[in-house]
Structure 1
Amino acid sequence: MAPHLAAQPIINSQYLQSAVGLTKPQAERALKTLARVGALTARNSAKRNVVWEHRGILDVLDAYAAGLRRQ
């Protein structure tokens, strides 16, 4: 799943279902596991259709973009 997070650092259950081929329960379980170990954080507080982000990858992308603006 790591390559998918690197390519798409903001995901939801539907993304995992279509990109990885997981069932809805499998996708929900994977997201909760990744959140529990600190790899993902929720971007919204919805009970359904939670959007998750990988802050580490987003921080790297933000730093890269800032470097481009300075040049």
Structure 2
Amino acid sequence: MLPHLVSHPVVNARFLSDHLGMAGQTAQNALNQLTEAGVLTERTGLRRNRVWEHRGILTVLDQYAQNLLRR
């Protein structure tokens, strides 16, 4: 799952199931473990339909976009 975060830094359990073939509970467990490890941040605050992000990758992409705008 970790290599896929570079191209998809915002994910949910359905994405993991659909694109990586994970079972629903396996996807949820992976998201919970990565959240506890500080790799992902849950951004919705909801109990259902939650979305996680990799803040580090998003920061790099934001910085890159800012550099493009300055040129």
TM-score bucket (shorter structure): over 0.9
Superposition RMSD on alpha carbons, in Å? 0.6
Structure 2: which 5+ runs fail to align? none
Runs ≥4 residues deviating over 4 A: none
* Consecutive unaligned residues in structure 1, runs of 5 or more: none
* 1:15 corresponds to: 15
Q: 1:27 is matched with which residue?
A: 27
User: May I ask how many residue pairs the two structures share in their alignment?
Assistant: 71
Kindly provide the amino acid, as one letter, of the partner of residue 67 in structure 1.
Answer: N
Identical-residue share of aligned pairs (%):
46
- Structure 1 residues 14-62: Cα deviation after superposition (integer angstroms, max 9, x where no partner): 0000111000000000000000000000111110111000000000000
Residue type of the partner of 1:18?
A: D
TM-score (norm 2): 0.97
